[in-house]
Structure 1
Amino acid sequence: MFSSDLPTFDPIDYGIRLIEEERRRIARDLHDGPAQDLTNISMRLDVVQRLLQTDTEMAMNELSRTNSRIVAAINDIRRLIYDLRPVAIDEIGLVSATVELCRRCERDWQIQFEVTADPGAAKGLLPARQIALYRLIQEVLQNVKKHAQAQLVTVTISRVSSRLEIEIKDNGKGFNPSEVPDGHFGIVGMRERAAYLGGVLEIESTPGQGSTIRILVPIEQETETL
């Protein structure tokens, strides 16, 4: 079902491209998040310094707001560090790691998550492949946060015969998949990741009606390494 439409991958070339893609993502997240926040904080502190000479009460109010921005920037940096840590997939498995990821996203992003997961859905999938799938799920959720403007995300992990199915659905603004420029939303990269695992990534979305992304990966009793 999956193999006929899969591109041919050079593992070394793909691995190098994946590393460079991760570096670009980290640089982009640092630039768009903490770097911009710290620049804004520096500007606000200049305002506070001037206000202290003319309006102490307004200065204190501005200082309180600035402190909130500092806390938010610290949390963003902590999240980036957490995301870079190795995932103990071999200890807790893909399903448990994904459930924990969704809980953390719900807490940090103030977006409601509903998760339905079969604990044994990833049984038989090598830890290395589970880690790759976990990173793919992370990327999908990051795109939801950045672009969807959603209030609810539904994540379903199930196993159908010898296939692992991961569905991530949001009630955000949606988009027209056929009109998305190359590289936007990371769609090309996400599809490549799924294909590298022998699977496919499907997208259903309509402007104003949210989006659904499905990751479908075959599972066999594996002994090889990636």
Structure 2
Amino acid sequence: MRRAVRRALVRHAVLTAVVTAVVSGITVGGLWLFAGGEANRTARDVAGRVATAVVVSLAAHHYDPVAPTSRDEVLAGLSPFIDSGMLARAKIWRVIGDQVQVVVSDEPRIEGERRRFDADLARRLDAGEIVVLEVPDDPGHRYERADDCTLLEALVGFRDAWGVPMRLEVYVPVDTAATVRSAMADLLPLVIGSLLVLAAATVPITLSLARRVERDQRERQAVLHYGLAASERERRRLAQVLHDGVVQDLAGTGLLLDALLLDETADSRRELLARAHGLVERAVALLRGLLTELSPGGLDTPDVRTSLQELAAEHQRTASHVRLETDVRMTDEPDAQVVALLHRIGRELLRNAVRHGAPGVVRIEVDAPGPGRVRMTVTDDGRGFDPTVAPESGHIGLRLVGLAVEECGGTLTTHSAPGAGTAIAATLPARLPAGLPATLPTGLPAAAGPGQTGDRGT
């Protein structure tokens, strides 16, 4: 397995583990909140049922002081709820000013104790509300403890036979942890299983993206290395052309001029001058050709039509055996940067069509496929190629053109088939964002163009 793919799978696994842990934690936290809310609702329901069952009988007694018979009757009415485990403890408080006093409890040791009572809580109870609170950890609740569950206190207000405000306080056991564990047993496997299934389903996407990133990295590295190598080859080629062509011609011209100085015959001088003139003309032609390659025209032209005219003139000098047709159908001119980029794209694709496709006719069309867009289409009737076949190592010219187009926010599409010619369309924005170069990679050989067979740029 390739290193990039392994790294992608490791990142995918780590991300899956992190997401699973986070989602599981959020789920457990939500379950605790849900269980707490359910516990409060349970305590309120239990207190309501107890109050419905006993408040009428509780209101039939007076509690100042509590008669032993009344105490026994009150406890007898509460004991079924305590014995069944619905309640852990019960207290009856009598309101004395801003304080309350325990007058009856199933724990006799706390009877007679007093404490201040919250005025807002008193108003809520007198209004008929059932109030549920957590049991505080203080000396007043030293007997209200449960080993295996949590206690919630629920308070209900009523009045005794003499109309004195009273408070019924019951302690309801709720097992929040058991509720959470039960819900987790049902819900967590579903959550984790769903996440794992989703992670497994997205593995092909991760692998595809990893391979695409790896391929793009390889292509960009190849562009860099190929550019350096091509630049070196181009320098050697120029040196060879200068040495074998211009330098040799100029050296031969010098020898002819030396011979001309020594020769006294007019006919011989005219022949030597003619030969020298021919050598100089050939050297000048070579130098002009090199200048054209090093600094092609069309990069400073104001519009697309002029740019294509210069491209056609250059093509006529270098490959007149292939007919070039141009057609411009535009109303609004694009930016000068876009014009320069279209010239470079057309030049590269035209040169490669001639070099590799052996076409008879190449046609370059420029139009506007939509508002703010410009499209150049290069079509030829050459040999064609199969665009689905990956190019051989080192043949990345068409990809270089595509990278230049993509960098400017455009698209490059290729339609070709063996023996059926080729059409390549480059669509660009008519206005380039600031800072984007309107150039193709320098120092590289011509990008693969229409009409080639398998060899997508040398």
Q: TM-score range by the shorter chain?
A: 0.5 to 0.7
1:100–1:172 distance in 2 versus 1, CA, 3 Å: same
Alignment check: 8 A CA contact 2:298 2:343 kept = no
Cα deviation, residue 118, structure 1: 2.8
Matched, 1:176 2:386: yes
For the residues of structure 1 that align with 2:341 and 2:228, how far apart are their CA atoms? 12
1:98 to 268, 288, 308: 308
Q: Over residues 112-133 of structure 1, what are the superposed CA-to-partner deviations in whole Å (9 max), with x where a residue is unaligned?
A: 0111113545x242x2333233
Q: Secondary structure at the match of 1:184?
A: coil
For the residues of structure 2 that align with 1:135 and 1:106, how far apart are their CA atoms? 17
Cα deviation, residue 21, structure 1: 3.3
1:170–1:74 distance in 2 versus 1, CA, 3 Å: farther
Matched, 1:145 2:351: no
Which position in structure 2 is the counterpart of 1:21? 227
Alignment check: 8 A CA contact 1:95 1:119 kept = no
For the residues of structure 2 that align with 1:164 and 1:79, how far apart are their CA atoms? 31
For the residues of structure 2 that align with 1:95 and 1:120, how far apart are their CA atoms? 11
For the residues of structure 2 that align with 1:22 and 1:131, how far apart are their CA atoms? 24
For the residues of structure 2 that align with 1:81 and 1:88, how far apart are their CA atoms? 14
Which position in structure 2 is the counterpart of 1:204? 415
Matched, 1:216 2:422: no
1:199–1:97 distance in 2 versus 1, CA, 3 Å: same
For the residues of structure 2 that align with 1:77 and 1:22, how far apart are their CA atoms? 24
For the residues of structure 2 that align with 1:203 and 1:140, how far apart are their CA atoms? 12
For the residues of structure 2 that align with 1:204 and 1:28, how far apart are their CA atoms? 31
Q: Secondary structure at the match of 1:201?
A: strand
Cα deviation, residue 212, structure 1: 0.8
1:92–1:156 distance in 2 versus 1, CA, 3 Å: same
Cα deviation, residue 164, structure 1: 0.5
Matched, 1:194 2:405: yes
| Alignment-mate amino acid for residue 158 of structure 1 | D
Q: Secondary structure at the match of 1:78?
A: helix
Q: Over residues 156-209 of structure 1, what are the superposed CA-to-partner deviations in whole Å (9 max), with x where a residue is unaligned?
A: 011122211101011111111122325526111010011111101111111111
Alignment check: 8 A CA contact 1:153 1:168 kept = yes
For the residues of structure 2 that align with 1:98 and 1:156, how far apart are their CA atoms? 10
Which position in structure 1 is the counterpart of 2:163? none
Count of paired positions = 181
> With CA pairs under 8 Å and 6+ residues apart, which has the higher RCO, 1 or 2?
1
Alignment check: 8 A CA contact 2:405 2:411 kept = yes
Q: Over residues 123-146 of structure 1, what are the superposed CA-to-partner deviations in whole Å (9 max), with x where a residue is unaligned?
A: 242x23332332222211121121
Cα deviation, residue 77, structure 1: 5.1
Cα deviation, residue 22, structure 1: 8.7
**Correspondence 1:1-226 to 2 at 5 A:** 21=227, 24=230, 27-28=233-234, 31=237, 35=241, 38=244, 78-85=288-295, 87=297, 89-110=299-320, 111-118=322-329, 120=331, 123-125=333-335, 127-162=336-371, 163-179=373-389, 180-181=391-392, 183-184=394-395, 186-220=397-431, 224-226=434-436
Alignment TM-score, normalising by the size of structure 1: 0.63
| Alignment-mate amino acid for residue 414 of structure 2 | I
For the residues of structure 1 that align with 2:392 and 2:420, how far apart are their CA atoms? 20
Cα deviation, residue 74, structure 1: 6.8
For the residues of structure 2 that align with 1:90 and 1:74, how far apart are their CA atoms? 24
In proportion to residue count, which structure has more helix?
Answer: 1
Identify unmatched segments of 5+ residues in structure 2. 1-212, 214-219, 249-277, 437-458
Q: Secondary structure at the match of 1:128?
A: helix
Deviates more, 1:137-146 or 1:189-198: 137-146
Alignment check: 8 A CA contact 2:416 2:422 kept = yes
| Alignment-mate amino acid for residue 142 of structure 1 | R
Deviates more, 1:98-107 or 1:170-179: 98-107
Q: Over residues 37-94 of structure 1, what are the superposed CA-to-partner deviations in whole Å (9 max), with x where a residue is unaligned?
A: x59xx9xxxxxxxxxxxxxxxxxxxxxxxx9xx95x9756533411332646454323
For the residues of structure 2 that align with 1:101 and 1:219, how far apart are their CA atoms? 20
For the residues of structure 2 that align with 1:82 and 1:194, how far apart are their CA atoms? 24
1:161–1:102 distance in 2 versus 1, CA, 3 Å: same
Cα deviation, residue 23, structure 1: 8.0
Alignment TM-score, normalising by the size of structure 2: 0.34
For the residues of structure 2 that align with 1:29 and 1:112, how far apart are their CA atoms? 31
Query: What is the percentage of aligned positions where both structures have the same residue?
Result: 21
Q: Secondary structure at the match of 1:178?
A: coil
Question: RMSD between aligned alpha carbons?
Answer: 3.8
